[in-house]
Amino acid sequence: MSSQNPSLRLGVLISGSGSNLQALIDAIENQQLPGVEIALVVSNKADAYGLQRALKHRLPAIYLSWGQRNVGAQFIAPEFIAPKPTMSESEIRLTALLRLFQVDLIVLAGWMRILSAAFLEQFHQRVINIHPALLPDDGTGKTYTTSDGTQIPVFRGLHAVQQALDAGVKITGSCVHFVTPEVDAGPVICRQEVAIVEGDTEETLHERLKMEEHRLIVEAVRRCKSVE
Ligand code: GRF
């Protein structure tokens, strides 16, 4: 590692299966992401399969229990962070971990917890998320225009795959975007449209979306690396 071109150190946050984490691990091991390494994997679920994936590849992996309690001025790990009153205790612990492992870019790969504005402020343009629906370029607004010119609603938050099925749209997709305090409303880095087919269920459609996500997440990290 030269000081002129240091590695981009990822902190990957997961809550479940971790197939997108696996896509990053594979891309790094196959030299498809030169100058990128996974510094730390954090899960808010002790039994998340993604933790097993990380450990299998000898990556630092930690379970961080997640509560929403605010701790006010209480001090935790003062050598790493002076806590802001608006951050939860869990966010303060997470911040300390990310600093300890010198994380440059935080990748939310199926992370199911909302991060506060105070937390995000510390990592401006350095937190990205994979969302299984289509967002417009700047992430905001209520509609997205697909490549065939059709306007569809923007599906944010939980169950975005099912929301697309319920709305009866013909095209949905996934995107990777920068995380801003408003949920699933940050600028898009890359996206892929996916057609909904007759008989699709939330499960079948989500599986097809994930196949695209595994490519998208690698592409998004590559782009973040190229602009550092
Ligand atoms: C992905 O579909 C992503 O879009 C959503 O959570 C899912 C995580 O899947 N935010 P995995 O844990 O990476 O398999």
Query: Of all protein residues, whose CA lies closest to atom 5 belonging to ligand 1?
Result: 110
pLDDT at 75: 44
Which residues are CB-contacts of 13 (< 8 A; sequence separation ≥ 6)?
41, 42, 43, 44, 94, 106, 107, 108, 109, 111
Q: How far is the CA of 27 from the centre of ligand 1 (A)?
A: 17
Q: Is the pLDDT of residue 71 over 80?
A: no
pLDDT at 72: 45
Our answer to whether residue 177 is catalytic in this structure is no
Q: Is the pLDDT of residue 105 over 70?
A: yes
Residue 227, judged by CB atoms within 10 A of its CB (0-12, 13-18, 19+), counts as exposed
